Chains A and B, each alone.
Chain A
Amino acid sequence: MYLFDRNGVCLFYREWNRPLRTLNPQLDHKLMLGLPFSLKSLTAKMDLTSSDKGNLGVPRLPGQGCSFHGFHTNTYKLSFMEGPSGIKIILVTHPWTGDLREALKHIYSLYVDMWLKTLCDLFNTILANM
């Protein structure tokens, strides 16, 4: 599982069972970030319901255009979710896992809780020290 913020910095990486590692970690993170990014711009371009998007370049805004939520190959399944702040959650699982959108939403809510909590603690300690 990977978690990236809107600037592409990998905030969190956790693995449970990964038999094969073809690339070094930096390259792995870069590819893992780049692949959903390009797939998103591809789906935005191929989207059939909306009017023509301009280019295959950068529909950056998280809500804009059609986005993909997952793909699967014969060996793994990748689920993707982008939050409104640009944060991206990517989950790599066994191909027979069902639709993981609810799980991703849950992870996002956990992330928001934890993050807000830490920020509030920090805020409180700063206030207390003033």
Chain B
Amino acid sequence: MAAVYSLFIINKSGGLIFYKDYGSSGRMDTNDSLRVASLWHSMHAISQQLSPTVGCSGIELLEADTFDLHCFQSLTGTKFFVVSEPGTQHMEALLKVIYELYTDYVLKNPFYEMEMPIRCELFDLNLSQAVQKDRVALLGR
């Protein structure tokens, strides 16, 4: 029973820089994941335009019939979003943890270029550990 189905990270301009699938079904190929990421980037921007009050920072949670999509936008414009089971709790906390891992293992990596696809082993490793821990905590409850 996977609570988190997949994770996407998109850069400031809307390009997909990281995609990881944890669920069993619904695996998307590269082209589709790229398209989905760009679509999400545009939707996020449009939702900010449509806000009836000032200070909107874009969609934080999208509720669909079979999944939920939680999004976190950092101050620099990088967006992290997870696709999870409907009603999963504490996804915001998980997103913050992922953001910390991103700053530690990706941004501090001297060989990593900004806005490029992420290819850092330590990031992948720690990310899997964090998601596993989250999954265990949820199942144990």
B88 CB to closest chain A CB (Å) equals 13
B51 and A42: CB pair below 8 A?
A: no
Interface size for B (C-beta < 8 A) is: 36
Q: Taking the complex as formed, is A114 at the interface, i.e. its CB lies under 8 A from any CB of chain B?
A: no
CB within 8 Å: A-B pair count = 116
The residues in B between 51 and 89 inclusive whose CB is less than 8 angstroms from any CB of A are 51-67, 69, 83
Interface size for A (C-beta < 8 A) is: 34
Q: Taking the complex as formed, is B49 at the interface, i.e. its CB lies under 8 A from any CB of chain A?
A: yes
Q: Taking the complex as formed, is B39 at the interface, i.e. its CB lies under 8 A from any CB of chain A?
A: yes
Q: Taking the complex as formed, is B40 at the interface, i.e. its CB lies under 8 A from any CB of chain A?
A: yes
B64 CB to closest chain A CB (Å) equals 4
- Give the secondary structure class of A's interface: mixed
CB within 8 Å of A: which residues of B? 5, 23, 25-26, 28, 32, 35-36, 39-40, 42-43, 46-67, 69, 83
CB within 8 Å of B: which residues of A? 18-23, 28, 31-32, 34-35, 38-39, 42-43, 45-49, 56, 66-76, 78, 92
